[in-house]
């Protein structure tokens, strides 16, 4: 094999507000592998500052250099090579699937990759002023979304409740599904009280109400919550042999899988299997990847036949994304084979 990698800094069109801060840029690396027939596979190494466990660009570049050197010289990686680097494992899995595919980037052939069916997604609402959030909500509703995901936990909680009250005054729970994502912003001390106030607005679920790693507190919340809880950051960095222990102790109503943060599709399938044993439902979410990573996750999501809206609406966030066949039509993401990939950004310097 012949391998290399390329760094690319993505620029947000509109800064993305979360409880961890405002995002203006995000770094991705592209792993490019060529086999002896000159066929090329590409995968994305996507990291999020202060969230990914491998959020260290210097360490990532050293590890990617090691990976490239091993593939170029030996061709086979040690079995524990990806330990501590889930984003690189995701990229490697994606690149190998791409190498094996008959059509470029058709990793999981389906009605989706043939452009015959779309995948329902939620509309993402970033944090900001009440006016900014309300404007985003109106735009998404006008686009035809029936499921919205609101980032909460950064502005005044009473203002967030007012926004939810305003939405529900216009759209019932039968008409509009609302998910909220606190990104761990609430304190275990007053979280249950806040969940009670949020429950008045008939929410579908709340993602990660308190910071990850507080297993006893989260288990108590999952038992008493008036709103279904979806674990998100809680899954990052969890070893495969610990998955069933975590799920059995916490007993969440949902889990949310982000392949680039938890270590790829093999790990995602393991989470799905363990969750199924406990009747825990799930959905997949992209984690601010460019269209390379988003495409891989969208195809994987469609292959799992999960009818819940998936969190895959992040392809329109950047002004320097990689042009691709992915497009949003109404409240669905579609793959349109007649549209071309534009990969010149990945050319060698």
Q: How many CA atoms lie within 13 A of 202 on its CB side?
A: 12
Sketch the domain layout of the chain as residue ranges: 2-105, 119-344
Residues facing 7 on adjacent strands? 29
CA–CA distance, 179 with 148 (Å, rounded to integer): 6
pLDDT of 21 strictly over 80: no
Comparing 15-29, 107-121, 194-208, the range with the smallest average pLDDT is 15-29
Q: How many CA atoms lie within 13 A of 111 on its CB side?
A: 8
Best CA proximity match to 276, nearest among 314, 315, 304, 236 = 304
Question: Which stretches of the chain are assigned E, i.e. beta strand?
Answer: 2-18, 21-34, 40-46, 119-120, 123-125, 147-151, 177-181, 205-207, 229-231, 254-257, 281-284, 326-329, 332-335
Question: Of all residues in the chain, what percent carry a pLDDT higher than 70?
Answer: 98
The pLDDT of residue 128: 77
pLDDT band at 11 (very low <50, low <70, confident <90, very high): very high
Mean pLDDT of 290-303: 98
Mean pLDDT of 84-104: 96
Neighbouring CB atoms inside 10 A of 247's CB total 21
The answer to whether domain 2-105 and domain 119-344 are alike in fold is no
The pLDDT of residue 50: 83
pLDDT band at 38 (very low <50, low <70, confident <90, very high): confident
Mean pLDDT of 41-62: 94
Looking at the annotation, which residues are catalytic? 151, 258
User: Which whole-number Å values give the CA distances from 89 to 64, 83, 94, 328, in the listed order?
Assistant: 11, 9, 9, 28
Determine which helix (DSSP H) or strand (DSSP E) holds 62, and give its type and residue range. Answer: helix 57-73
The pLDDT of residue 20: 64
CATH topology of domain 2-105: Enolase-like; domain 1 (3.30.390)
Specify whether the CB–CB gap between 110 and 101 falls below 8 A. Answer: no
Q: Is 26 helix (H, G, I), strand (E, B) or coil?
A: strand
Mean pLDDT of 320-345: 95
What is 119-344's CATH superfamily? Enolase-like C-terminal domain (3.20.20.120)
Residue with tokens 């998910």: 179
């Amino acid at each position: 094999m012949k391998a290399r990698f390329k760094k690319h800094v993505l620029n947000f069109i509109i800064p993305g507000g979360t409880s961890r801060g405002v995002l203006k840029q995000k770094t991705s690396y592209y792993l490019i592998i060529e086999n002896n027939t000159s066929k090329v596979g590409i995968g994305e190494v996507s990291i999020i500052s202060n969230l990914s466990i491998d959020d260290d660009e210097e360490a990532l570049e050293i590890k990617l250099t090691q990976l490239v050197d091993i593939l170029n010289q030996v061709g086979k990686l040690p079995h524990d090579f990806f330990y501590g680097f889930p984003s690189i494992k995701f990229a490697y899995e994606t690149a190998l699937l791409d190498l094996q595919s008959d059509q470029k980037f058709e990793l999981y052939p389906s009605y989706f990759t043939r452009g015959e069916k779309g995948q329902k997604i939620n509309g993402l609402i970033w944090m900001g002023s009440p006016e900014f959030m309300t404007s985003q909500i109106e735009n998404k509703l006008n686009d035809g979304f029936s499921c919205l995901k609101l980032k909460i936990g950064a502005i005044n909680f009473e203002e967030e409740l007012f926004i939810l009250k305003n939405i529900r005054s216009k759209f019932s729970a039968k008409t509009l599904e609302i998910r909220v994502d606190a990104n761990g912003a609430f304190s275990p001390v007053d979280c249950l009280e806040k969940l009670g106030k949020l429950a008045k607005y008939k929410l579908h679920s709340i993602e990660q109400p308190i910071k990850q790693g507080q297993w006893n507190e989260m288990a108590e919340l999952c038992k008493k919550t008036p709103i279904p809880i979806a674990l998100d950051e809680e899954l990052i960095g969890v070893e495969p042999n610990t998955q069933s222990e975590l799920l059995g102790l916490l007993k969440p109503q949902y889990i949310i899988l982000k392949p680039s943060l938890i270590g790829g599709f093999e790990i995602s399938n393991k989470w799905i299997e363990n969750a199924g044993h406990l009747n825990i439902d799930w959905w997949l979410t992209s984690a601010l990847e460019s269209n390379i990573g988003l495409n891989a996750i969208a195809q994987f999501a469609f292959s799992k036949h999960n009818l819940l809206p998936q969190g895959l609406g992040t392809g329109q966030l950047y002004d320097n994304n990689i042009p691709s066949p992915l497009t949003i039509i109404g409240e669905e993401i579609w793959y349109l084979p007649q549209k071309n990939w534009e990969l010149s950004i990945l050319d060698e310097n």
